[in-house]
């Protein structure tokens, strides 16, 4: 999809973080953006900022964990933008933290409902029109934690993100020959507020990260990467190319990889990582 001018792009979880950064990046190259989020006020603020900058955007309230949410979202697009979605980014997600024995079944169900089954709901609504016309692009947000293991404190989240990767790979096999692109976005450390809304199930649990070699990125940087992936029809989009070396090491000897993660855990402080990113930006000319 070389030219995104005038294309309708729907992004869930677009009121902040990666969704917001991608909405702004897509609007900057001429796409008409649907800022979909459960937070109606913040979604409208993002859409208004895009319009103020000269872009085209509407806000739409969307609780991706509810049946019927995507049908209503499609009706909004047809009514307000008079067309079908060309690009759908399934980005909304929730997270938690805690030891496995402390996390109740209901939380597993909540995480999978929002993170994974929202994409099932989205596909049911947006894929048929794409298939009918033989064009479109799907972007699903997975995570570094969905493609390699480095933590046990957020297992439902990591498991849902691993399932998203597998779903995306299967969709690519099916959809690419039919003219529909598929991208699976795998973010590493990114400045988002997802952890601020995280439920904590174990007091004092240590947050483990993928490793100090992965720099903290901004949502705008990731948004630019997503735009290029859509343009170039790239399937696998990690936010940091260094992860490829880690994946090779893991695949080469997964027993040794797990032992290394046990012996040398990477405990992270999100506040410290963001501060380091800010200092790096200030030092640049």
Q: In the prediction, which pLDDT does 266 show?
A: 87
Whether residue 227 lies inside any domain: the answer is yes
Angle subtended by helix axes 105-115 and 155-175, to nearest 10: 30
- 30 located within any domain: yes
Its domain, for residue 266, covers 8-283
Does residue 3 form part of some domain? no
Q: With contact defined as beta carbons under 8 Å apart, do 180 and 135 qualify?
A: yes
Provide the whole-model pTM. Answer: 0.91
- Please tell me the predicted confidence (pLDDT) of residue 2: 85
Residue 232 lies in a domain: yes
1 part of a folded domain:
no
Active site (catalytic) residues: 157
CA dihedral 11, 144, 118, 172 (to 10 degrees): 80
- Report the DSSP pairing between strands 199-200 and 236-238: unpaired
Residue 205, SS3? coil
Alpha carbons within 13 angstroms on the beta-carbon side of residue 120 total 12
Q: Which residue has the tokens 């980005």?
A: 91
Q: What is the pLDDT of residue 108?
A: 97
Query: Hey, how many other C-beta atoms are within 10 angstroms of the C-beta on 224?
Result: 18
- Supply the CATH number for residue 254's domain: 3.40.50.720
What are the residues whose beta carbons fall under 8 Å from the beta carbon of 34, sequence distance 6 or more? 8, 9, 10, 11, 14, 57, 58, 59, 60, 73, 76, 77, 81, 85
Alpha carbon distance 154, 136 (integer Å): 33
Number of domains in the chain: 1
DSSP letter at 267?
B
> Has residue 137 been placed in a domain?
yes
Residue 2 lies in a domain: no
Within 10 angstroms of residue 94's Cβ, the number of other Cβ atoms is 21
Note down pLDDT in tens along the chain; length 285 residues.
889 999 999 999 999 999 999 999 999 999 999 999 999 999 999 999 999 999 999 999 999 999 999 999 999 999 999 999 999 999 999 999 999 999 999 999 999 999 999 999 999 999 999 999 999 999 999 999 999 999 899 999 999 999 999 999 999 999 999 999 999 999 999 987 766 667 889 888 888 888 888 989 999 999 999 999 999 999 999 999 999 999 999 999 999 999 999 999 888 754 444 444 444 444 444
Q: Report if residue 15 sits inside a domain.
A: yes
The helix (H) or strand (E) run that includes residue 35 is strand 32-37
Question: Tokens 């897509």 appear where?
Answer: 26
Distance, in Å, from the CA atom of 223 to the CA atom of 17, rounded to the nearest integer, reads 9
Model pLDDT, residue 195: 60
């Amino acid at each position: 999809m070389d030219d995104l001018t005038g294309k309708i792009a729907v992004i869930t979880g677009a009121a902040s973080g990666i969704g917001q950064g991608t909405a702004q990046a897509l609007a900057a190259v001429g796409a008409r953006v649907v800022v979909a989020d459960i937070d109606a006020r913040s979604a409208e603020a993002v859409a208004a900022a895009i319009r103020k900058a000269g872009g085209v955007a509407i806000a739409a309230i969307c609780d991706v964990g509810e049946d019927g949410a995507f049908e209503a979202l499609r009706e909004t697009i047809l009514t307000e933008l008079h067309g079908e979605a060309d690009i759908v980014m399934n980005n909304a997600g929730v997270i938690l933290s805690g030891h496995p024995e402390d996390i109740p079944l209901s939380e597993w169900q909540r995480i999978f409902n929002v993170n994974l089954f929202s994409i099932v709901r989205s596909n049911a609504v947006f894929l048929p029109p794409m298939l009918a016309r033989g064009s479109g692009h799907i972007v699903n947000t997975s995570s570094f934690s969905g493609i390699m293991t480095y933590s046990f404190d957020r297992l439902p989240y990591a498991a849902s993100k691993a399932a998203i990767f597998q779903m995306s790979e299967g969709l690519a096999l099916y959809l690419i020959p039919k003219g529909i692109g598929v991208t699976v976005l795998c973010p590493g450390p990114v400045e988002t507020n997802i952890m601020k809304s995280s439920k904590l199930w174990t007091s004092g649990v240590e947050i483990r990260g993928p490793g100090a070699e992965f720099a903290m990125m901004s949502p705008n940087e990731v948004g630019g990467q997503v735009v290029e992936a859509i343009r170039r029809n790239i399937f696998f989009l990690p936010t940091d190319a260094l992860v490829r070396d880690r994946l090779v090491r893991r695949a080469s000897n997964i027993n040794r990889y797990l032992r290394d993660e046990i012996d040398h855990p990477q405990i992270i402080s999100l506040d410290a990582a963001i501060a380091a990113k800010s200092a790096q930006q200030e030092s640049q000319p």
